[in-house]
Amino acid sequence: MEGKGHRKIIHVDMDAFYASVEQRDDPELRGKALAVGGSPEGRGGVVATASYEARKFGVRSAMPSKKAVQLCPHIIFVRPRFAVYKEVSQKIREIFRRHTDLIEPLSLDEAYLDVTEDKQGIGSAIEIAKLIKQAIRDELQLTASAGVSINKFVAKIASDMNKPDGLTFIGPSNIESFMEKLPVEKFFGVGKVTAEKMKKMGLFTGADLKTLAEEEMVKHFGKSGRFYYHIARGIDNREVQPNRETKSIGAEDTFPYDLTEIEEMYAELEKISKTVCNRLEVYQLKGRTVTLKIKYSDFRQITRNQSFMQPVSDLQVVTETAKKLLLATTPEGSRIRLLGVTLSNFGEVEPKKKGNDHPDQLQLFGE
C-alpha cells in the first residue's frame, strides 16, 4: 500500500455481533439458527441480529420476528444482554488501543482506526489488521472483519466485502475502479429514497455518478451531493475522530410517499421511537430532551423539542412526547416526507453552566 502521503485507515466490524456473543457464551446455541431480540409470538418485536445459520434462511436485522419464524421455523430467540455486549465492546477497544489512540467507534461493534502512525511501529495497516483480528479471536473467542484502505469510506465498504472473518485491502491504485463499479446504494448516506431517485435519473454506479458535475450533484442531492461527487472519485478526507462523545441518539425515516393521515404518522413515530429506545438501551443512556424532526413534502424542515426535569428513556414517554409535538405543529392537510426522533441532553441533572455547549453533535442516525 501504503505509499507515502496516504493515510492508513482500518475499519473493524464484528461478525453477527450479538448473536456471536450469545453462541460463544452458550455452547447449546453454537451452529444453530438464532435471533437476538424479538420473540416467536412476535407482536411488533424485531430481530436485532441473526446468526449466520439463520441468515442462510434470509433472516435479517430489523426484520419482524413473525417474518423470521416464517422463513426459518426452527429459529431460536434469545434475549439481548446489552451489558455483556458493552463489556465486549470495551475489550475490543483495548485491543485497538495497542496500536493507535485514533479510534472512532461507530457503534458497539464497529470502529475506524487511523494507523498512519502506529504505536508499535509495525508500519503495515494490513499487518495491524491481522494482529487485531487474531487478538479478538484469541482473547475474546469472536471474529471480526476488517477493511483496510486510505480513507474511511473505502475501508468501511471493504470490511463488509468478505464477511465473516474477512480482511480486505483496497489500495490507492484500485480505489478508482472500485468506486466506479460500486452500486449507488452502497454510497455513504444514500438511503432507499435517494437510491430510487438516482436510479430514476439513470445513475446506478459510481461511474454513473461521475458523469455529473459537482454543481449538478448539489442541485439534485443538496449538501450530500458534494460528498457523493468526491467519494465517487475515491476522495474522502474525513478524519478519524477519537473521543467523540455521544451527544444525541436518534432515528429517522424518509417515506416512499407523503404521509397525510395522523394515524399513519403516529404509527411511524411508534416505530422510530422504538428504534431510538433500543439504541438508548444499548448505550445505557437517558436524555432530558426529546426532539421531533419533520420534513414536509415541500422540503420545509422543522424541529420541535420538549425537555424534562429528569432524563427519560421509556418507550411510552418518548413516543407520547413525539406525538404531542407532532400534533402541536402539524395542521390538518400537512404532507410529511420524513419524521425523526432524537434524545439528547444526557447524563444527570445538573445546574446549567456557561460555555458548556457542544456544537459538534454526533448523531447516531439511520440504518
9 binds, among ligand DCP, Mg ion, none (CB under 5 to 8 A by kind): none
Q: Is 49 in the site for ligand DCP (CB under 6 A)?
A: yes
Buried b (16+ CB within 10 A) or exposed e, 291-311: bbbbbeeeeeeeebeeeeeeb
Q: Is 61 in the site for ligand DCP (CB under 6 A)?
A: yes
CB 80 within 8 A of CB 95: no
Q: Which is nearer to ligand DCP, 18 or 229 (CB)?
A: 18
State the residue number with the nearest CB to Mg ion.
13
Burial class of residue 204 in the structure, from the number of CB atoms within 10 Å of its CB (0-12 exposed, 13-18 middle, 19+ buried): middle
Buried b (16+ CB within 10 A) or exposed e, 97-109: eebbebbbbbebb
Instruction: Say which residue the cell 457503534 belongs to.
Output: 107
280 binds, among Mg ion, ligand DCP, none (CB under 5 to 8 A by kind): none
Q: Which is nearer to ligand DCP, 164 or 191 (CB)?
A: 164
Q: Is 22 in the site for ligand DCP (CB under 6 A)?
A: no
Q: Is 62 in the site for ligand DCP (CB under 6 A)?
A: yes
Shortest Å distance, C-beta 12 to ligand DCP? 10
Name the site residues for Mg ion (rule: CB under 5 A).
Answer: 13-14, 17, 109
Q: Is 110 a catalytic residue?
A: yes
CB 248 within 8 A of CB 363: yes
Q: Is 23 in the site for ligand DCP (CB under 6 A)?
A: no
Q: Is 77 in the site for ligand DCP (CB under 6 A)?
A: no
Q: Is 112 in the site for ligand DCP (CB under 6 A)?
A: no
Burial class of residue 121 in the structure, from the number of CB atoms within 10 Å of its CB (0-12 exposed, 13-18 middle, 19+ buried): exposed
Q: What is the DSSP letter of 253?
A: E
Helix (H, G, I), strand (E, B) or coil at 242: coil
How far is 104 from 106, CA to CA, in rounded Å? 6
Q: Is 16 in the site for ligand DCP (CB under 6 A)?
A: yes
Q: Choosing from 22, 110, 252, 268, which is the catalytic residue? A: 110
| Contact positions vs ligand DCP (CB under 6 A) | 13-18, 48-49, 61-62, 107, 109-110, 163-164
Please give the positions annotated as active site: 110
